[in-house]
Amino acid sequence: MRTLLRLAACSIALVVFFVPRSWSQNLYATSESFDQLVEVNMATGVVTTLYNIGFHPDSLIVDPKGRILYTSQNNGTLYMFDPKTGLNTVIAAGFSYPRDLIFDPSGKTLLVANFGVGAIDRVNLITGTVTPLLTKQFTVDGLAYTPAGELFAVVNKHTQVVQLNPTTGAILNSIELPTPHNIGWYGFDGMTYDSYTGELWLSDVGVGADCLVEIPTNLSTYTLYQVGNLLNPDGIISDGEGNLYIGVNLQKVYEYNIPTNTVTKIVKVKSVDDIALVPNL
């Protein structure tokens, strides 16, 4: 089945390869050390400052109305910024080094990777109420849902991807880090579900890594791509059309084409950490 999927993906890719796209994806990004939210035009390479935050942002996600929800590890807070109005509001606080975010399928709640205490918290976006979903995992980083409602997380000091019961937080399945992990911040970091391949894609930092990792949702195996070519990859997002966008080495955003296994675009973005697609509203 995996081989058939890859062949199907490649046959589709031939059409895309010979008929250039008439568009290029715009992205939102966190500029960590510069304390900013920015917009990145992948076609022109222009980076526009959206908001000067005043503290270090980490990860971000965009809601259906185009508002940016983002975390700050400095003060343990989840914020929402509206690019249309310029309004920035606090959604919830009291986290310990909050990092990655993912919306629940209902869209009414948001999951926060509470890195500092190895937990995942669920935040009610209306009331701001925070309830724990998963605890005692040393650390939590990347989060991803599939269209079927399957929930995945990077846990245990960057060494594992686990599938969780999205209601109880119980661990249902897991896979270990495939590359050496001899420094605390080495290992899995960002994660996204890619509808083009139907699989999970992760950034992997470290010896024998600095690469992308493709993992099927049954967590049965893994495949490494671009080993050694992506120095310190972090945030990662899929456009569902065969392309991934990755924040690399706090300096650049890479556009990576899955069927051709090539980096097709590089844009400089100062202190880039995480990225999200700008929606077509």
- Residues 64-88 have pLDDT tens digits of 999 999 999 889 999 999 999 999 9
pLDDT of residue 267: 98
pLDDT of residue 20: 36
State the average pLDDT over residues 256-276.
97
Token pair belonging to 241:
């059309």
pLDDT of residue 185: 83
Question: What is the SS3 assignment for 125-172?
Answer: CCCCCEEEEECCCCCEEEEEECCCCCEEEEECCCCEEEEECCCCCCEE
Domain 2-277 grouped into CATH 2.130.10.10? yes
Instruction: Report how far residue 196's alpha carbon sits from residue 95's, in angstroms, rounded to the nearest whole number.
Output: 34
Whether the pLDDT of residue 6 is over 90: the answer is no
pLDDT of residue 249: 96
Helix or strand (DSSP H, E) at 99: strand 98-103
pLDDT of residue 160: 97
State the average pLDDT over residues 243-269.
97
Torsion of CA 145, 151, 152, 157, to 10 degrees: 120
pLDDT of residue 18: 28
Query: Strands 68-72, 57-62: parallel, antiparallel or unpaired by DSSP?
Result: antiparallel
pLDDT of residue 24: 55
